[in-house]
Structure 1
Amino acid sequence: MHAAKSPRAPWLTGAVFALIGLALSAGGIRLVLLGGSWFYLVAGVGFVVVALLLWMRRAAAIPAYALVLLGTLAWSLWEAGLDWWPLATRLGLPFLLGLWLLLPWVRRSLRPVGSDLPPPGGVARARAGKPWLLAGVVVAVLLVSVASWMADPHRIEGEAPAARAGIAATPAEVPPGEWPVYGRTPHGQRYSPLDQITPRNVDELDVAWTYRTGDVPGQPGDPVETTFEVTPLKIGNRLYLCTPHQFVIALDATTGEEIWRLDPEIQGELALQHLTCRGLSYHPGPVATDDPQASAATSKDPPDAPVATRSVPAIDANGGTGDEAAVPVVRSDAAAETGAPTGSPNPTGAPVATASLPVAERCSAQLFMPTSDGRLLAINPDNGRVCPEFGNGRGQINLWQHMPNINPGSYYSTSPVVVTRGLIVVGGTVLDNVTVHDASGVVRAFDVDTGELVWAWDSGNPGDTTPPAPGETYTENSPNSWSISSVDEDLGLVYVPLGNQPPDQWGGKRSDAVERFSSSVVALDLATGQVRWVFQTVHHDLWDYDVPAQPGLVDLTIDGRTVPALVQPTKQGEIYVLDRRTGEPLLPVREVPAPQGAAAGDHTAPTQPVSALSFNPPPLTGADMWGATLVDQLVCRIRLKQLRYEGRYTPPTTGGSLVYPGNFGVFNWGGVAVDPQRQIVFAMPTYLAFTSRLIPRENDEKLYVSEGSVPPHSPLPSLNENFGAPFAVEMAPFLSPLGIPCQAPPWGYVAAADLTTGEIIWRHRNGTVRDLTPLPLPFRMGVPGIGGPIMTAGGVAFLSGTVDNYVRGYDVTTGEQVWEERLPAGGQATPMTYLGADGRQYLLVVAGGHGSLGTDTGDHVIAYALDADDVDESE
């Protein structure tokens, strides 16, 4: 049977070698001319030579290919060392071809070396084809591969310190079993003092209950980035959450049973770039005092009230505060039924809450929900009815008041607002790279009871924080705060992470104020809104390196003294540790020279800041390029040489630049978790390169980069067009022709670092490609993620944000993964943990997917807990 096939084997095999050789040779010539590696050209010639020998049916093809494979092995080890995935893409296809040439029916059709006669028969034929050299090289490749499976050059081993004696989690007034604020406390640490779940018993976690919201992304009119990113609040025995389409839901924290649901009736036809709700905010109501009459007479903290005077009101068995029964809400559309005044029409066309929604008689506590049509609703947590005393009888405030360039959907708060000291501090997201005539990035403080504006800090006009006069508007297109802020009530400061001014990639017309505040963290005085200090993380940002994450506030022990610190993760991978009183660095920050040569009409900053605690990756080189085969890896190398790339902060150009880390960020809104007792940070750094190319605009009508991306007559915005600027921008992840990252994995890690020294304690690749490939291959390559981690006093950290559908638990001391559970959808939200009414510690995970990442969508809220008997034994 083989003899019949053997005459054709050399021709077919030779054709494969010839195709590979021609592709490598052609690409190799191009790469050499660009100043890149000579390997691909030399290897391509070798493949062509082997193809010719095969077509001539010469047995010399086998030792010739042995030399090609040996050279490929040596080059691979020189470039990649014992790093399996870079070795696999270099050696995988050549190794398989070597195995093919060793097959008997291929060798039997080849003439012996030095013979012009037809292939011999019998024993002589077999001897002529014995390829000892090629077999030896194939075995060497296999041994190197096995050795690389035992090594991980990207891994850092170490152990985190134990909890330090005498250091308590702060602020102490938050009950241990509660999660009443997005980051559990106003300090944003994402740290729980609960210790029921430990590395020893975490593998016994089981699903306690699952709740389905019924709100799944992908509805008509949704933008691509429609995401379920909420971290629920836990207050008493209730959970409070919001969904992508802005439903507000209360659940029983122990059973998962729905208690009430509110549809805030978002107006349609919105110019949305993002559709999400990361969380709600809670106000416990009146200040507890010794005078009941005084407590009843006031419902907010005075600006100078100490933190110790605040208390959480008594919660009944159902999680209510006792003033009204907990019942499901039925929408009422008649204003007459609510008795709410209608007033003047909303300038954005959004509905008035008290005119179209059920209204509470009174609210002894409040939930605050920012909506995608630019409102902030006050809701009674007892029953989901709106609070009529808020917003001058409307149950809401209109965040479009005094805004320039009103375009519903182009501005709203995707993140929860800050509630503190009788104030609600509100930032908001604006459209990215659509127009220079956008809404303002103003940060405002409203009275928590009435909704009256108290102060407004506009980064485009930072000196004047008084409320604007009638008819006045804030500065258009000023840097905004789309992420989550943190509060230190003792210091009277709110810490606000700021983004950049669109267009992100061209800054030729930025004002002095914009230059000062873009991509910074700013400390604002709670009483006045005035700037107390500002720390800029990127100078003249041209890369969309917004400060994306909530600052973590923690008291650190440095040189034997306690210092109030702020921990700020950034997209470019720096973690700045600052004195939160002054903004001065506690870990050294140095200015390093940055690449120069911006686009026409722009400039670049001469230096950029670098922290002593940094997850900034090394610059990419040709050796870092990757692909499924040598051929698409070669394409990535050519593309790398064609792009302008001089390391981090390479300016955008009309010819195209490589941006690494990309604007996806080493850290994004999920941020980091801080353990105040160990004084460490738990992080999930992500590494993805992007490309950007500036496209000169001829006018403000033509679509240069978004044509066809928005349905006709849709209000959805034309992203990256930069109307009013001299350039549109084309951005994309840096991918191979097969759609996989051009840079070699790992693309995602979990890591811990010491906040007092800046030392990275341990770092491990995290996540698999199971949900990224056509076949469910569980290769632990280290994948990207979005959504944050949490830490617990039990010594376990939890994370669900990777692009595979898992929630995982990690031993905080060593970083080893100690538990994982499959999720029904992408878990791109930050988990939380709390104590149920049954005395068990619950882990809560939201699994709904992320539109931009393309993870599986869903509507799941899942609670995990230990078995009650296991809890009794652990106690």
Structure 2
Amino acid sequence: MVNLLSVVVFALIGAVLAAGGAWLIVLGGSWYYAIAGIAFLIAAWLLHRRKPIVLWFYAAFLIVSLVWALWEVGLDWWQLAPRGGVPVVLGLWLLTPWVRRGLAPCAPDAKTPNGFGLSMAVVVTVVVAVAGMMNDPTAIKGRLNDTAVVENPDMGNAMPAGDWHQYGRTQYGQRYSPLDQVNVSNVADLTEAWRYQTGDVRRSEDVPETTYQVTPLKVDDTLYLCTPHSWAVAIDAKTGTEKWKFDPKVGMNSDRQHQTCRGVTYYADQNAQAGDHCAKRIYLPTSDARLIALDAKDGSICESFADNGTLHLEQNMPHKPSGYYYSTSPPVAVDGKIIIGGAVNDNYSTKEQSGVIRAFDIHTGELLWNWDSGNPTETEPLKDGETYTTNSPNSWSVFSVDEELGMVYIPLGNQVPDQLGMNRSASVEKYSSSIVALSIKTGQVQWVRQTVHHDLWDMDVPAQPVLVNISDEMGNETPALVGPTKQGDIYVLDRRTGEPLIKVREKPAPGGAIPEDHTAPTQPVSDLTFMPEKLTGHDMWGITLFDQLACRIQFHKLKYEGRYTPPSLQGSLIYPGNFGTFNWGSVAVDPKRQVMFGMPTYLAFTSKLIPRDEVPPQGSKKASEMGINQNEGAPYAVSMGPFLSPLGIPCQSPPWGYVAGADLRDGKIAYKHKNGTVYDMTPLPLKIKLGVPGIGGPMITAGGVAFLGAAVDDYFRAYDLTTGKQLWETRLPAGGQSTPMTYTTDDGTQYVVIVAGGHGSIGTKPGDYVMAYKLPDQKN
């Protein structure tokens, strides 16, 4: 019976591998799987004939498989495991006494085959596996500069060291705090100080992209934040008790692609008298395209602003389909203006709202200027009856400001439909997927730096540009801008002119767009880049040989020539994918040491164009990054999604997520380490540090510590900024897909805060938590 079972198992495995392997050979892939299938079939036949030589034959097969695996991937445990797992397990099965007894001749005095050769082959594979476990071929193990380059750096607008007034702490967006009470020597002692629940929880009728991405502000003794359904909340910074809450009643809309709020904007009127209503304000962007002014003290509406306290952002839009336009990020308050962009639904229609950037009087809501990338030279306010450009590139992320230079820096997206570049105007081609500097006073363009030419991949510039002054060897400082991108490049530019401080080169890019479209012959690449290596069949992954084979087959069926392979009717592999190497979480920069800390993520996506007459009917347009995007009015829809195996895990090999540090003066990457575990990715809670994807942002303190949640396991972590070594972690009650912040209270205690509420698109646990941590009270 045992022998029959062995025959059946080996025969089935052999048939699957031989058939799938033959298909892979036809597609131009590896011959190994077909050969392995034949080997399993031969082993099945030998088992059926009860031939002891099967043990030697299988030993030879294991050694050949090991040599092949090492040739493909080297000593990389996570790459070796799927190649060797099934063969080694079956080798152990053949070594069991009951299998070997079945191979002995029928004569009663015959000896049972001892399987020495197979035992040695298994031992060799296990030794190699252990060596692979001790090796991390993907890591970069170095150190960042750990001394100050500048003792008193420019960190942006002034505020108390213990406060956090803007999304990135200051208008420079550095995500850097000068606090050092919590440092590398004691961060491991952090404990929970308090937790607060907003009451805004994910609902069954919510859109998939319902997410908690907010970074609270801290002003005086109060934290201010918003929730996914656009509530504004004020809580006591020391105790976490609620002070006030404002619900703008945004309502539900199934056509709204995103249901999130990354932050609110704080403004103090320097001309107001103490105690005046709305002398200090909170500006709340909502997911139904409003901007509401609230009194920071009690949350009441500032009725002198705009229309009884509410500014309607859809004014002068050429098309106004409900749910297609809203603001997900906090506007900037500067020079008596509040400057705001907006998100548009990706790939719903060719008739969507404009991506115009507008400046309003911060007190009255009067429109002062508007910059529309589809009509970039006319910034005077539109008159009644005039409209902005349909579908012009928009900015859904966070802006940065240099008041001294008089510039606001805009991370700009692409014109939708993202994957179709036909009929784009010259202005759209110039400004899509770029960083644009506008005059704070007039809105006129000061400079533009494009990061992708003729974007066909949804490679919006997703992150707030970080402003920092960078010193040369002579001690001369240059006002710089650090711009992370989805494709993995980090642009380090002179923020006065947009010219690169770290070299940017034009390099040849793949062609082969559909006949109606074209591709750019070259694409810019920064010398400081986290772009991934080009994928090959060797990089395909799986839990077993079988899903790895399926991924290799799918890989060879897709069109792929490296980064910037255009979308196609065949289906193209897009890597990095739509989530990007960096996203809205940006990077954190230490202005003293002039180094950066970030979380590069690597997930391949697929993109397939569907002719209009072949598009299946779809009752909802909520697809976004996954599923069929309708592109109504365009000749093609597009089907997109992560490149996953039949088991639902990424087809490319791990790691999929890292923490990394780089020196901004020379553009050198100092370290890069796997980040996060599969604890919340699998049915079994296995805390295996694989390096998992994430979305969110980091924060740095003067204590030399970098804080980051973001990963798809529900942990909040602290790292040594110098080495990238993890120093502390704590379990969160929900996904931590937000950027943390830190502050002190009047008793001198430093708190570290992160909002934990999960992310709908990546499936982390939902919640409504604000979590605060501090060091244990010191004994006298």
TM-score (norm 1): 0.87
Local SS of the residue matching 1:868: coil
- Structure 2: distance between partners of 1:25 and 1:192: 59
**CA shift at 1:174, angstroms?**
2.0
Aligned to 2:247: 263
Aligned to 1:641: 556
Larger CA deviation: 534-543 vs 836-845? 836-845
User: Out of 432, 446, 464, which is 2:346 matched to?
Assistant: 432
The aligned runs of 1:226-625 (5 Å cut-off) are 226-269=210-253, 271-286=255-270, 322-323=275-276, 362-392=277-307, 394-560=308-474, 561-625=476-540
**CA shift at 1:732, angstroms?**
1.2
Q: Is the Cα contact below 8 Å between 2:621 and 2:630 reproduced in 1?
A: no
Local SS of the residue matching 2:610: strand
**Amino acid of the structure 2 residue aligned with 1:657:** S
Q: Is the Cα contact below 8 Å between 2:254 and 2:622 reproduced in 1?
A: no
Counterpart check, 1:841 vs 2:746: no
**CA shift at 1:28, angstroms?**
1.0
Counterpart check, 1:171 vs 2:159: no
**Amino acid of the structure 2 residue aligned with 1:284:** A
- Structure 1: distance between partners of 2:627 and 2:253: 15
- Structure 1: distance between partners of 2:618 and 2:345: 14
- Structure 2: distance between partners of 1:707 and 1:42: 47
**Amino acid of the structure 2 residue aligned with 1:423:** K
**Amino acid of the structure 2 residue aligned with 1:650:** T
The aligned runs of 1:817-832 (5 Å cut-off) are 817-832=726-741
Aligned to 1:681: 596
TM-score (norm 2): 0.98
Aligned to 1:98: 91
Aligned to 2:27: 34
Q: Is the Cα contact below 8 Å between 2:255 and 2:621 reproduced in 1?
A: no
Q: Is the Cα contact below 8 Å between 2:95 and 2:119 reproduced in 1?
A: yes
**Amino acid of the structure 2 residue aligned with 1:647:** G
Local SS of the residue matching 2:730: strand
User: Out of 15, 25, 39, which is 2:18 matched to?
Assistant: 25
Mark the CA change 1:825 to 1:650 in structure 2 (over 3 Å): closer, same or farther.
Answer: same
Mark the CA change 1:522 to 1:172 in structure 2 (over 3 Å): closer, same or farther.
Answer: closer
**CA shift at 1:404, angstroms?**
1.4
Aligned to 2:187: 202
Aligned to 1:299: none
**Amino acid of the structure 1 residue aligned with 2:183:** T
Local SS of the residue matching 1:239: strand
Mark the CA change 1:96 to 1:718 in structure 2 (over 3 Å): closer, same or farther.
Answer: closer
**Amino acid of the structure 2 residue aligned with 1:261:** K
RMSD over aligned Cα, in angstroms?
1.5
**CA shift at 1:867, angstroms?**
1.5
- Structure 1: distance between partners of 2:379 and 2:464: 23
Which whole-Å deviations, capped at 9, do the CAs of 1:787-807 have from their partners, x for residues lacking one?
000000000000010000000
Q: Is the Cα contact below 8 Å between 1:66 and 1:133 reproduced in 2?
A: yes
**CA shift at 1:656, angstroms?**
0.4
- Structure 2: distance between partners of 1:270 and 1:367: 28
- Structure 2: distance between partners of 1:56 and 1:521: 70
- Structure 2: distance between partners of 1:119 and 1:624: 47
Q: Is the Cα contact below 8 Å between 2:255 and 2:620 reproduced in 1?
A: no
Local SS of the residue matching 1:553: strand
Which whole-Å deviations, capped at 9, do the CAs of 1:735-772 have from their partners, x for residues lacking one?
11111111000000000001111100011000000000
Mark the CA change 1:456 to 1:815 in structure 2 (over 3 Å): closer, same or farther.
Answer: same
Q: Is the Cα contact below 8 Å between 2:628 and 2:637 reproduced in 1?
A: no
Local SS of the residue matching 2:124: helix
Aligned to 2:584: 669
- Structure 2: distance between partners of 1:551 and 1:219: 35
Mark the CA change 1:708 to 1:272 in structure 2 (over 3 Å): closer, same or farther.
Answer: closer
Local SS of the residue matching 2:751: strand
**Amino acid of the structure 2 residue aligned with 1:510:** R
- Structure 2: distance between partners of 1:269 and 1:244: 13
Local SS of the residue matching 2:360: strand
- Structure 2: distance between partners of 1:764 and 1:710: 35
User: Out of 167, 170, 188, which is 1:182 matched to?
Assistant: 167
- Structure 1: distance between partners of 2:643 and 2:682: 18
- Structure 1: distance between partners of 2:148 and 2:431: 37
Sequence identity (%): 57
Mark the CA change 1:270 to 1:65 in structure 2 (over 3 Å): closer, same or farther.
Answer: closer
Which whole-Å deviations, capped at 9, do the CAs of 1:77-118 have from their partners, x for residues lacking one?
11111111001111111111111111001100113xxxxxx4
Aligned to 1:327: none
**CA shift at 1:703, angstroms?**
5.0
**Amino acid of the structure 1 residue aligned with 2:125:** V
**CA shift at 1:167, angstroms?**
3.8
**Amino acid of the structure 1 residue aligned with 2:279:** S
Which whole-Å deviations, capped at 9, do the CAs of 1:275-314 have from their partners, x for residues lacking one?
0000000111125xxxxxxx76xxxxxxxxxxxxxxxxxx
- Structure 2: distance between partners of 1:422 and 1:165: 31
**Amino acid of the structure 1 residue aligned with 2:299:** G
**CA shift at 1:707, angstroms?**
5.2
**CA shift at 1:688, angstroms?**
0.3
- Structure 1: distance between partners of 2:35 and 2:575: 30
Q: Is the Cα contact below 8 Å between 1:538 and 1:609 reproduced in 2?
A: yes
User: Out of 809, 820, 828, which is 2:718 matched to?
Assistant: 809
Aligned to 1:344: none
Pick the structure with greater CA Rg. Answer: 1
Aligned to 1:780: 689
Aligned to 2:668: 759
Local SS of the residue matching 1:869: coil
Local SS of the residue matching 2:103: coil
Q: Is the Cα contact below 8 Å between 1:788 and 1:831 reproduced in 2?
A: yes
The aligned runs of 1:696-711 (5 Å cut-off) are 696-698=611-613, 704=616, 706=618
Mark the CA change 1:207 to 1:669 in structure 2 (over 3 Å): closer, same or farther.
Answer: same
Task: Count residues in correspondence.
Answer: 776
Mark the CA change 1:179 to 1:78 in structure 2 (over 3 Å): closer, same or farther.
Answer: same
Aligned to 1:75: 68
Q: Is the Cα contact below 8 Å between 1:705 and 1:728 reproduced in 2?
A: no
**Amino acid of the structure 1 residue aligned with 2:111:** R
Counterpart check, 1:856 vs 2:765: yes
Aligned to 1:345: none
Q: Is the Cα contact below 8 Å between 1:521 and 1:534 reproduced in 2?
A: yes
Mark the CA change 1:675 to 1:706 in structure 2 (over 3 Å): closer, same or farther.
Answer: farther
- Structure 2: distance between partners of 1:98 and 1:370: 62
Q: Is the Cα contact below 8 Å between 1:692 and 1:731 reproduced in 2?
A: yes
- Structure 2: distance between partners of 1:851 and 1:735: 18
Q: Is the Cα contact below 8 Å between 2:708 and 2:740 reproduced in 1?
A: yes
Q: Is the Cα contact below 8 Å between 2:265 and 2:331 reproduced in 1?
A: yes
Which whole-Å deviations, capped at 9, do the CAs of 1:26-66 have from their partners, x for residues lacking one?
11111111111111111111111001111111111111111
Counterpart check, 1:61 vs 2:54: yes
User: Out of 213, 223, 244, which is 2:207 matched to?
Assistant: 223
Local SS of the residue matching 2:644: coil
Which whole-Å deviations, capped at 9, do the CAs of 1:537-556 have from their partners, x for residues lacking one?
00000000000000000000
Larger CA deviation: 611-620 vs 65-74? 65-74
- Structure 2 portions without partners, runs of 5+: none
- Structure 1 portions without partners, runs of 5+: 1-7, 112-117, 288-294, 297-320, 324-361, 712-716
